[in-house]
Amino acid sequence: MRIFDRRRNPQGKSLANRQRFMRRAKRQVTEAVRQASSDRSIRDMPGEEKIVIPADSLHEPRLRHDPRTGQQDGVLPGNKHFRQGDRVRRPPEGGGSGGREGSPDGEGEDAFTFVLSREEFLDIFLEDLQLPDLMKKSVTRSEQVSYQRAGFTASGAPTNINLLRTMRNSLSRRIALRRPGRGEMAELEREIEAREAQLAEKSEAENDPELIALRARLERLRRRAREIPFLDPLDLRFNRFEAVPKPVTQAVMFCLMDVSGSMSEEMKDLAKRFFTLLYLFIQRRYRHVEIVFIRHTHRAEEVDEETFFYSRETGGTLVSTALEEMRRVIDARYSPADWNIYAAQASDGDNMTADGPQVAALLEKDILPFTQYYAYIEVAGGVGELLRTRSNLWQTYAPFSESHANFAARRVAKRSDIYPVFRELFTPETERA
């Protein structure tokens, strides 16, 4: 008998099958995922998501009897009081006691339930969306480097020695120069010994021509082995590494929101959903993502998440203060050379008319040139408000949508708009066509 421990065998052997399964059920799964996300708050995205999809696409048909047809005959255990010849009412369709068989695999046939991992869920959820301008343009200016393998070199540090290459070179050189092998010399030595043993008399040995020849040959071989070294500096090979500039893999996301009295809780909730989506999305593209929350009324300040969403503040509305604050934070902490900067602004569109030019100037000069993407979401409280004439802020921002590729403005009125608008913003041009 042999016992093997297979627990350390590669895990996830079922992955290939799972991928095939997911591909098969793709359409249904995508639909179910979108459904799941519109129903439920996305901010506390669960670790895993249970998904129910219709089973028809996954049905595996077999040629089998229809259990409802023909004569039926079966033996069951546990008779209590039946006598031969009794009649028993047939249980209603769908099994129960006395029913002979359920569905062949014992599960409901209408729906198939299984669990998606968080990764799979997000993959499908954010499928075929792309961050505009994904790579930092300033990649070449980046000061961080990483080392990549780049072939071999004849000089280097001892720690980087490539044994395989080195020994291969050594071997081929030894073969080419016919360096005598250890076996060859050992054999010669044995021959000499044998000869010496044959010639018992020492004096005889001194003069034996064969022995002399053998010894001379051994001496030649030894000299040759000394002169041709086992390992020559020529043989050495080292792994070579090349420094390549590392792309910036960190991003910062600015959330800007108007918290003046005109923003209702509902509007804030809409804004929050949009921020969360954006955060999830950015997080999947960068290794490290930070968030900065800036709220504003007629003055702006950087706050933590709790305060940002839940504390109340009264005052007028000056959007330029928020942009000022954003510029200040960028200058202080997030050098555009090292950070990918994203900004999302949510507002009900109110702004002091006099503030317009200042906002435009800030955006034009100090914000847009350094940000990867700037999304403006105008939240409207009810459906009616959508029909309202364009807001102050919208009027200020409208020209930027035209002139800057990294600026976008959209209106959102209800929860179910969020995801479509989000998708629309980040679907690459090519696919939209």
Partner 1 sequence: MTTLFSGGDWSYDSLERSYQAIEAIALGELGLEIYPNQIEVITAEQMLDAYASIGLPLMYNHWSFGKQFAHNELLYRKGARGLAYEIVINANPCVSYIMEDNSMAMQALVMAHAAFGHNHFFRNNHLFRQWTDADAILDYLAFAKGYIAHCEERYGARAVERLLDAAHALMDQGVNRYQRKRRTGPQWSEARERERRAYAEASYDDLWTRTRPHAPEPPRARPDAPAPDEALDLPEENLLYFLEKHAPRLAPWQREILRIVRQLAQYFYPQKQTKVMNEGCATYVHYRVMNRLHEQGQLSDGGYLEFLHAHTAVIFQPDFDDPRFGGANPYTLGFEMMRDIERICREPSEEDRSWFPDIAGCGTPMEVLRDAWVEYRDESFLLQFLSPSLIRKLRLFELTGEEDEPDYLVAAIHNEQGYQKIRRALARQYDVSLHEPDIQVVGADLQGDRTLLLQHQVYDGRRLDEADATLVLHHIARLWGYPVVLLEVDAASGATWRRLHCHQPDS
Residues lying near partner 1 in the complex (CB under 8 A) are found at: 1-7, 9, 11, 13-14, 16-24, 50, 58-66, 68-80, 82-90, 97-98, 101-102, 106-107, 112-115
Beta carbon nearer to partner 1, 85 or 158:
85
How far apart are CB 121 and partner 1 at their closest, in Å? 14
Burial profile 125-151: b = 16 or more Cβ within 10 angstroms, e = fewer: bbeebebeeeebeeeeeeeeeeeeeee
How far apart are CB 81 and partner 1 at their closest, in Å? 10
Q: Would you say 342 and 306 are in contact if contact means Cβ atoms under 8 Å apart?
A: no
DSSP three-state, residue 424: helix
How far apart are CB 108 and partner 1 at their closest, in Å? 11
How far apart are CB 101 and partner 1 at their closest, in Å? 7
- What count of Cα atoms within 13 Å lies in the side-chain half-sphere of residue 382? 1
Beta carbon nearer to partner 1, 65 or 388:
65
How far apart are CB 33 and partner 1 at their closest, in Å? 15
How far apart are CB 118 and partner 1 at their closest, in Å? 15
Amino acid 14 reads S
Q: Which helix (H) or strand (E) holds 226?
A: helix 209-227
Q: Would you say 127 and 34 are in contact if contact means Cβ atoms under 8 Å apart?
A: no
Beta carbon nearer to partner 1, 83 or 388:
83
Spatial separation of the C-alpha atoms in residues 2 and 288, rounded to whole Å: 49
Beta carbon nearer to partner 1, 114 or 152:
114
Q: Which helix (H) or strand (E) holds 379?
A: strand 373-379
How far apart are CB 99 and partner 1 at their closest, in Å? 9
**Sign of CA pseudo-dihedral 410, 249, 47, 304:** negative
Spatial separation of the C-alpha atoms in residues 31 and 50, rounded to whole Å: 13
Amino acid 294 reads I
Beta carbon nearer to partner 1, 53 or 259:
53
Beta carbon nearer to partner 1, 115 or 216:
115
Q: Which of 351, 347, 345 is nearest to 367 (CA)?
A: 345
Spatial separation of the C-alpha atoms in residues 186 and 337, rounded to whole Å: 68
Beta carbon nearer to partner 1, 69 or 353:
69
Name residue 412's beta-bridge partners. Answer: 379
